[in-house]
């Protein structure tokens, strides 16, 4: 829809502006790096489109708690790809957020 297209265009424009103003030069050494950047963009765009579509199909109160799943998923991907392991900061927050989300879902169904 038009809202999704406008959201994607603004995200692209502002991301490029921020990249040009604040970022160091990217160490792109070949076509494999360009392919990785392209895949990150495509996956991110698909994720945003799925999120916007889900908010259109279901009541926002039912979906909002699941946005917090991005935190543990980011942790898992950071651990796999970058060997990051901030367990002591992450685990308590993740349990609180996931627990609260599950309580909300349970309450909505009963």
**Which DSSP string do the residues of the chain spell out, in sequence order?**
-HHHHHHHHHHHHHHHHHHHHHPPPP---SHHHHHHHHHHHHHHHHHHHHHHHHHHHS-HHHHHHHHTTHHHHHHHHHHHHH----HHHHHHHHHHHHHHHHHHHHHHH-
Q: Which two tokens mark 66? A: 């699941």
The pLDDT value recorded for residue 13 is 92
Q: Which pTM value belongs to this model?
A: 0.50
What does the pLDDT read at residue 11? 87
> What would the mean pLDDT of 57-75 be, rounded to a whole number?
80
pLDDT at 65 over 80: no
Give mean pLDDT, residues 78-101. Answer: 82
Place of tokens 């970022």: 23
Higher pLDDT, 100 or 1: 100
pLDDT of 4 > 80? The answer is no
CA–CA distance, 95 with 31 (Å, rounded to integer): 40
Q: What confidence category does residue 64 fall into, taking pLDDT thresholds of 50, 70 and 90?
A: confident
């Amino acid at each position: 829809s038009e809202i999704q297209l406008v959201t994607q265009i603004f995200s692209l424009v502002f991301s490029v502006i921020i990249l040009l103003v604040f970022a160091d030069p990217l160490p792109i050494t070949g076509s494999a790096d360009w392919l990785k950047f392209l895949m990150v963009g495509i996956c991110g765009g698909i994720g945003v489109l799925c999120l916007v579509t889900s908010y259109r199909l279901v009541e926002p109160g039912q979906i909002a708690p699941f946005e917090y799943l991005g935190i543990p998923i980011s942790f898992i991907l950071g651990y796999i790809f970058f060997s990051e392991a901030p367990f002591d900061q992450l685990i308590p927050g993740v349990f609180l957020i996931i627990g609260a989300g599950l309580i909300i879902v349970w309450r909505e169904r009963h």
